[in-house]
């Protein structure tokens, strides 16, 4: 029987699967950053929601990795002092 890591390594050879996997991994990392920062600051989801002027349910969705709009995500990050930085590939930069 294959281990999880062996199975994942095999599945990641498929380009489409790898793209989807990487998207989910990024979403999970963002969610964990929000959770860890909120907990480190000693804030509840309701506290963050109040500071960000969003609902507690919206904060919960972000922490669960459920799709949200970018405006809501940025409001929550700003309320927590999380700097969101986009890395633009060199070829896509405007001269």
| CA separation for the pair 85, 40 (Å, rounded) | 21
Are the C-beta atoms of residues 49 and 58 closer than 8 Å to each other?
Answer: yes
Q: What distances in angstroms separate CA 19 from CA 6, 38, 46, 51, one per listed residue? A: 18, 29, 34, 34
Instruction: Give me the residue spans of the domains in the chain.
Output: 4-92
Q: For the domain 4-92, what is the CATH superfamily, name and number?
A: lambda repressor-like DNA-binding domains (1.10.260.40)
Per-residue pLDDT of the chain (95 residues; tens, 9 = 90+): 889 999 999 999 999 999 999 999 999 999 999 999 999 999 999 999 999 999 999 999 999 998 789 999 999 999 999 998 888 888 766 65
């Amino acid at each position: 029987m294959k281990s999880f890591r062996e199975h994942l390594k095999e599945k990641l050879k498929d380009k489409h699967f790898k793209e989807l996997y990487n998207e989910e991994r990024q979403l999970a990392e963002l969610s964990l950053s929000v959770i860890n920062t909120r907990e480190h600051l000693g804030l509840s989801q309701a506290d963050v929601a109040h500071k960000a002027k969003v609902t507690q349910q919206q904060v919960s969705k972000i922490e669960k990795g459920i799709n949200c709009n970018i405006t809501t995500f940025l409001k929550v990050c700003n309320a927590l002092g999380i700097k969101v930085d986009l890395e633009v590939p060199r070829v896509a930069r405007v001269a």
